[in-house]
Chains A and B, each alone.
Chain A
Amino acid sequence: MAAEASWTRTYRRHRGLLLLIGPCLAYFLVFHYLPMVGLIIAFKDFVMSHGVLASPWNGLDNFVRLFASEDFPRALRNTVLISLLRLSFGFVAPIVLALMLNELRIGWFKRGVQTLTYLPYFFSWVILGGIFLMLLSGDGPANNIVRAAGANPISFLGDDLWFIAVLIAAGIWQSAGYGAVIYLAALAGIDPNLYEAASIDGAGRWQQTLRITLPSLVPTIIVLFILSLGQVLNAGFDQIYNMYNPIVYDVADIIDTYVLRRLIAMDYALATAGGLFKSAVGLVLVVGANWMARRFSDDEYGIW
C-alpha cells in the first residue's frame, strides 16, 4: 500500500514533466518499438494477405537461405570492412576538426569555416553521387589535374581500392563538419580557469590541447564511439547506392543494398531476416563496447 501511495505521489508531482515527454515516448513506441513486432516475419513464410500473425512459421529457413546465398556473406564482409575503415578514419576526423576550429580566434572566420564544413551534410547523396561521378570521370576535373601532372588518368570509381578510398574520403568530407558540432559543444563546456592555470604554469597551446582539451573530451568521445559501434553494420547505404557500379560490386555490395534487392523482389521475409541479423550484431557490439568502457574506466564512463 505504501509503495502504491508513493507511486501516485511521484506521478502527481511530475505530471507536467510526464506530459511533456509523452509525445516523444509515443513517437518511439509507434515508430520504433511497435514495428519490431513485425520482425517475427523473419521466422515466417510471410504472405501479405494473411498478415504478420497468421502467416505460417518456417523456423530458421530464411536465415539458412540468407547464409547459403553467395551474396549475403560477401555483403556482410564488405559491410564490416567499409565500416571499420569509416570508423578508423571517419571517427577521428570530427575530433580533429573540432580541435582546429577551437583554436581559431577570429569570430567571423571560425563561423564561416564551420558553416562551410557542415554544409555538405545537408546535400542528398543522389546529388552528390552525380557530382562525384562528374568530378572523377575520365575527362573530369580530377583527372585533368592528374594529366597535367604528367600521370595517366586514374579510374577513381572503377578500381576497387580507389573506390573505397573515395567512398571513405567523400564520407568524411560530407559528415565531419556536422560531427564536429557535438565536440565543439563539449569544448565550450570546459572550464576556462583550467587554461588560465595551465598558461600560468607555462603550458603552451599544444600542451594545453594535450593535457586539458583532449582529456575533457574523453567522455564525449567514448559515448560517441559506443554509439557508432552500434552502427558498424550500417556502412552508409545512401552513399554507396548512389556511387557504386558493376565494376566495384565485389567490394561495395553491402547488407543494405542486398536487403533492398530482396525488398524490391517483394521477398520481405528474407529482407527482414537480413535486417534482424544486422540489428542483433549492432546490439551485441553496443552492449559489449559499453561493458568494456565501464570495465576499463572503473565504471566512470559508459552510457548505462
Chain B
Amino acid sequence: MSAKEIIGLIGAVVIVLAFVLFYPTRPHEKGNPAQADAVDWSAVEDDRSEQLTIRWLGPPVYANGQENTWVQGLLEERFNIRFEPVFLDWTANSRLKPLMFSAGDVPDVSWDGDPLYVRRNIHHGFVMELPYEVILEHAPTYVKYLNQYGRETWLFAFYRGKNYGIPTFAAADIYPTAGLWRMDWLRRVGLSKVPETLDEMGEALRRFRHGDPDGNGIKDTYGMYPRTHWSLAYADVFATFGLLPQDFVLRQGKVVWGGVQPDAKEALRRLRRWYAEELIDPDFAIAGRSGDQSSKKFQNGKIGYLYKGGSWLDLELKNPNSTYSVLRQLNPQAELAPSRVLAGFDGQRRDRVWGGPAHVMWFGTQVAQTPQKVLRVLHMFETLATDQELFVQSRMGQRGRHWDMSAERGAYLLPPYDRRGADTRHLVHVGLLENAYGFFSACAAPLQFTRGYLPEGMAEFRDEYSHPSWGLKNAIGKSDVVDSAGRYLEDLRHYQATVFTEIIRGDRPLDDFEPFVATWRQRGGDILVAEANEMLWQMYEIYDEVGIDREGTDGG
C-alpha cells in the first residue's frame, strides 16, 4: 500500500468517525433555543404526592460532598423529591462543567456564580426560560427577601428580554469588612488610635516604615501591601473618593467605570506618593497568580495594616486558625485592632461590598418536558424562606447531632463534623449560614433567621465596625452582566491593573492617566459603559415587574 493510500484511508476513517461522534443527537431548532421549549405555565400543576427526581448541581464548595446525607434526606422527605446531587470544585465548575453540558449532561437545576456564565449557558442553549410571574406566584416570600437583600441579582438571570432561573442573595454581604491594624505597633510609634481617614492612615503607614515599629533596630517593615484580586486592589483608598477601581459605580444617575474617573487620578497620586515614601511593600506588584501575600506578610510582622482583614472571625482568639491567633503564636506581644471603614474627605465612610446580589439557579431546557419540577423547586425555596427551622437544618443539619450552640460561640459544629472536610462532605457548614452557598438551599435567609446563631457580641461588632450604610457596591450588581463583558472586560481589567501598578511604582508618570483613559475607552470601555447604562434602565424595568419600588431603600 502506498503512502497516499494510507493517508486516504486514515482520512476516510477520521471523517466517518467524526460524523458518528459529533452528529447532534438532539437536533435543536435554529434561533433562540429556549423558544422551542416555551411552557404554558397556566396549565402546569404540581401534584405534591408525586415523587420527582431532580438532578441538582449546587454551588462548587462541596467538592467532597456525599450522596444521601442527612440534609438531603430531610429535604427529600419534606418535598417528596429524589435528589441526584452533582458535586464540583471551583476548577471543575469553570473547566469541566461546560464539557459536561456540551456532552448533553445538563442537570435539571444548575448553579452559576457569575452573570457571564449564565449568559453563555443561555447562548449555548442549555437554560430554560422562567417568567417572572411564575416565580412571583409560587415563591412570594422568597421574592420579598430577594428584593430586600439582593435585587440586582434579577439582572444576572436576565438575557435579551427574558428571565432565566431563580436569582439568589447573600444577606451578610451587605456588611463591609473593616481593616486590621497592629495596635502594638501604633502605640510604639506614638499613635494612640486606629486611623480613620486617609491622612491618618498615611501617617501611621509612614511611621510603620520609618519608625521601627517592631523595635528590632532594622528597617524591615512596611506599612501596607495592596491586595491583588481585582475586587480588592486599592479599593480601600479608592472608596474614600467614592469610587471602586474595577467596578461600575453610580454618578449623577449615570453608570460610570470607577477606574477612569478624574478622581481616580487623585487616588493614584496618593498611592504613588506612598510608594515613593516606601510605605508600600514593593512585592505586591509581582504576586500574580502565585497569590496575595498580604495575610502572610501581616502575620509575619512585615506590614502593619491588612485591608479587609478585620471581620469578627479574623479577631477570634478562641479559633486557632484566625488571623489574630496565628499572629499571636508567632509573636505573643502582638495586639490587633479592627478599624472602622475609612472616612472620605466629605466625612462619609465607604468601602467595597458585594452588597447582597449572589448567584443564579437555573433549569435545564429539558425540564420544559416536566415543568412540575420548577414548581416543586420554587415551593422549596418559598418554604425555606418562611420556615426558619427548616432553613437552619438545611444548612447545618440537626441540632445535637451535627451542631450545637452557646451564647459565647454562637452555632458550632460538633465532632466529627467539625473536622476539616467533614463539614462539606456532609453538607453542613456553620460558616456558610449567612452566605449563598448552601448546597440545596443555595440562597441566604433574611438576617432575622440567622442573627440568633451568631456569637455574642458579633452584632454589636458589626454595628461598630461594619455598618451596612458604609457599603459601596457595583451599580449593576456585577460588571459582567453587560453583553460585551466576555469580549472586553477581562482584557481591560488586565490593562488597568498594569497601568495602575506602573503609575504607583513610578514606572510611568502620573500624567499617563489621561492617555490610559483614552485608550481604555477606545479598546471597548465606551461600549461597556454604554451597555451598563442600558442595563441600569433594564434593571429598573425588571424592578417594576417584580414589585420593587425604584426609589426604595437597600436591604439591611
Contact = CB atoms under 8 A, between A and B. Distances in A.
A133 B98 contact: no
Interface in A204-244: 241-244
Contacts of A247: 285-286, 498, 501-502, 505, 507
Contacts of A267: 120, 486-487
B28 A246 contact: no
A48 B290 contact: no
A138 B282 contact: yes
Interface in A63-98: 69-71
Contacts, number: 139
A193 interface: no
Nearest to A65: B487
Contact of A266 (B124, B293, B494, B505): B124
Interface string A42-78: 0000011111111010000000000001110000000
Contacts of A70: 491, 523
Contact of A47 (B19, B125, B291, B497): B125
Contacts of B283: 137-139
B329 interface: no
Complex A-B, nearest 5 residue pairs according to Cβ-Cβ distance, in ascending order: A49-B125, A245-B288, A51-B24, A266-B120, A48-B124
A33 B14 CA distance: 7
A139 B302 CA distance: 10
6 contacts: A37-B18, A49-B28, A49-B124, A49-B126, A138-B281, A138-B283
A201 B414 CA distance: 85
B123 A47 contact: yes
A48 B282 contact: no
A115 interface: no
A72 B121 CA distance: 25
Nearest to A28: B10
Interface of B: 1, 10, 13-15, 17-19, 21-24, 26-28, 30, 33, 94, 98, 101-102, 116-117, 120-121, 123-126, 220, 281-283, 285-291, 293, 302, 365, 485-487, 490-491, 494-495, 497-498, 500-502, 505, 507, 523
Given A37-B18, A133-B287, A247-B286, A7 B1 contact: yes
Interface in A12-40: 29, 33-34, 36-38
Contacts of B495: 249
Given A48-B102, A155-B282, A53 B24 contact: yes
A138 B280 CA distance: 12
Given A54-B28, A56-B30, A267-B486, A139 B220 contact: yes
Interface residues of A, number: 46
Contacts of A266: 98, 116-117, 120-121, 124, 486
B125 A71 contact: no
Nearest to A30: B17
Nearest to A25: B10
A249 B285 CA distance: 12
A29 B22 CA distance: 15
A297 interface: no
> Which of A47, A129, A264, A265 has the largest count of B CB atoms less than 10 A from its CB?
A265
A288 interface: no
Contacts of A7: 1
A171 interface: no
Contact of A261 (B1, B365, B491): B491
Contact of B505 (A48, A56, A157, A158): A158
Given A47-B33, A49-B33, 6 more contacts: A137-B293, A241-B289, A244-B288, A244-B289, A246-B494, A247-B507
Contacts of A196: none
A253 interface: yes
A51 B1 contact: no
A19 to B, nearest CB: 17
Nearest to A258: B491
B287 A48 contact: no
Contacts of A250: 498
Nearest to A249: B498
A207 B300 CA distance: 57
A48 B491 contact: no
Nearest to B11: A33
Interface string A245-271: 111011001000000010011110000
Contacts of A243: 288-290
Interface in A171-194: none
A130 interface: yes
Contacts of B505: 158, 247
B491 A71 contact: yes
Contact of A245 (B22, B120, B286): B286
B125 A48 contact: yes
Nearest to B486: A265
A96 B494 CA distance: 39
B286 A261 contact: no
Contacts of A158: 282, 285-286, 505
Contacts of A245: 285-289
Contacts of A261: 490-491
A146 to B, nearest CB: 14
A37 B22 contact: yes
B125 A50 contact: yes
Nearest to B286: A157
Contacts of A69: 491
A264 B94 CA distance: 7
Nearest to A133: B290
Contacts of A136: 286
A249 B494 contact: yes
A7 B9 CA distance: 14
Nearest to A270: B487
B490 A47 contact: no
Nearest to A134: B290
Contacts of B14: 29, 33-34, 36-37
B221 to A, nearest CB: 11
Contacts of A33: 10, 14
Given A71-B491, A137-B283, A246-B285, A48 B126 contact: yes
B25 to A, nearest CB: 8
A37 B22 CA distance: 9
Given A155-B282, A266-B117, A267-B486, A130 B290 contact: yes
A266 B486 CA distance: 8
B393 to A, nearest CB: 36
A38 to B, nearest CB: 7
Contacts of B27: 54
Nearest to A132: B290
A155 B285 contact: yes
Given A129-B290, A266-B486, A47 B124 contact: yes
